[in-house]
Amino acid sequence: MPAWFSAFAEAHLLLAAVVYVLFRAIAVVVSPVPGLLLDLPAISIFGWGPAFVLAEIGIMIGAMTAFAIGRLFRERAIARFAFLRKVREWEMTLPPSERFVSWVVLRLPNSPAFDYISYAAGLTDCSPTLFFWSTLIGNVPFILTFFVLAGVGSSFGPWATWVMPLSFVGVVTVLSMRYAKAMRKRG
């Protein structure tokens, strides 16, 4: 990270935190923007613990925004895309007592596809409260592990700050792709 940026962030820590949360939220709403790449500089500025909390705030703001956008366009989107009807039908087969756990379980292996699931959830009958809590609980294990690995990696040098958490992301992505492929084969 450039020295001028670090100096600016340290001199204006509150402003840097607000900007980071805002950019982290935008990274969820604008799917191609890789939010995890914003996290590594934030870890070096704030430390892994505070950066984790700020990231989760931004992620949840972004997820709720994507959910609201999905909800706004729900009926038109469901009419056009067959897979969205299947998601809605799947949700309706669940007893109300199992919906929360089902959304959490859906979130856990799908962190790499997090942004898209937020929009898709808005297209279902999932309540905003259920979506918020299942998203938070389903997202924390992945993001916390990423931040801890980056924090541990920083003690080994700048290269490890990047290599350790990004290796973890790679492994999770490959496992998620295999899981999705297995699910498609099952039906």
pLDDT per position as a tens digit, 104-119: 666 555 555 556 678 7
Spans of all domains in the chain: 3-139
Report the share of the chain in percent with pLDDT over 90. 21
Mean pLDDT estimate for the chain: 79
For residues 68 and 126, is the Cβ–Cβ distance under 8 A?
no
CA distances from 140 to 109, 125, 137, 147, 183 (A): 12, 24, 6, 10, 24
Q: Is the dihedral of CA 41, 44, 46, 51 positive or negative?
A: positive
pLDDT at 18 exceeding the cut of 60: yes
Least confident of 12-16, 21-25, 37-41: 37-41
For residues 183 and 90, is the Cβ–Cβ distance under 8 A?
no
Q: Is the dihedral of CA 161, 35, 135, 19 positive or negative?
A: positive
pLDDT per position as a tens digit, 56-101: 999 999 999 989 988 888 767 655 655 556 666 767 777 777 766 6
pLDDT at 166 exceeding the cut of 80: no
Overall pTM surpassing 0.75 (yes/no): no
